[in-house]
Structure 1
Amino acid sequence: MFASKSLAAHAARGVIGLGTLAASALLARDLLWASIALLPVALVALRGCPMCWTVGLIQAVVARARGERPDGVCDDGGCAGGPAGRG
């Protein structure tokens, strides 16, 4: 649900998101407007909160270890876990 299609894409979003969060914290004392402007960039890159990104990272790593795609198995257009795959 939270994981990206590839581990590299997920890691890139993490570098951008966590980097902008760190920059926002460092700039908060001197340039408050820049700090506030960086927060939406971080939230978009992380797709919400840092915890959601962490859960997605764990899902991506587990899926890669199992040899699956992080978004589930959808070979014929119907996912095995969804309503279309149960019928």
Structure 2
Amino acid sequence: MTTSKTDGPDFASSSLPRHLGRGVIGFGSLIGSVAFIPLVGPVSLLLLPIGALALRGCPMCWTIGLMQTISRGRLQRSCEAGRCTLSVADRDQARPTESVTL
């Protein structure tokens, strides 16, 4: 059976710089929403949804996505006869693939 991605949720970005950029925007917005309260009042809380959107929901989701982005294409999961294994992919196959054999 072949699927387009793994069975679980995917929080990874297409590249590491893009994911780190989302982290800067997300964490910056979350920190700024609290830090700017003395300066602009409750209006600064409008940064909270921007931070949550950039982090795809929560800081933990972003962290999971960071790990997925770093490991994408480096680990290979294969399942045969009801037994699944996780192995390091060959350097030639280190590029992200569109399908995973289950």
Query: How high is the TM-score relative to the length of structure 1?
Result: 0.73
Q: In proportion to residue count, which structure has more strand?
A: 2
Q: Percent identity?
A: 42
Shift of 1:29: 4.0
Deviations 1:28-87 (A, max 9, x none): 3441122x20001101111111110000001111226x1343xxx21xxxx225xxxx6x
Question: In structure 2, how many angstroms separate the alpha carbons of the residues matched to 1:3 and 1:80?
Answer: 16
The structure 2 residue matched to 1:32, chosen from 24, 34, 42, is 42
- In the alignment, does 2:22 pair up with 1:13? yes
Q: Which runs of at least 4 in structure 1 moved beyond 2 Å after TM superposition?
A: none
Counting matched residue pairs gives 73
Structure 1, unaligned runs of 5 or more:
none
Of residues 37, 55, 65, the one that matches 1:46 is 55
CA RMSD in angstroms, aligned pairs only: 1.7
Structure 2 unpaired stretches of 5+: 1-9, 75-93
Give TM-score scaled by structure 2 length. 0.63
Letter in structure 1 aligned against 2:11: F
Q: Which has the larger radius of gyration?
A: 2
Structure 2 residue identity aligned to 1:80: V
Question: Superposed, which structure 2 residues align to 1:64-79 within 5 Å?
Answer: 66=74, 67-69=94-96, 73-74=97-98, 79=99
Higher helix proportion, which one? 1
Equivalent residue number for residue 80 of structure 1:
100
Task: Report the secondary structure of 1:10's partner residue.
Answer: helix
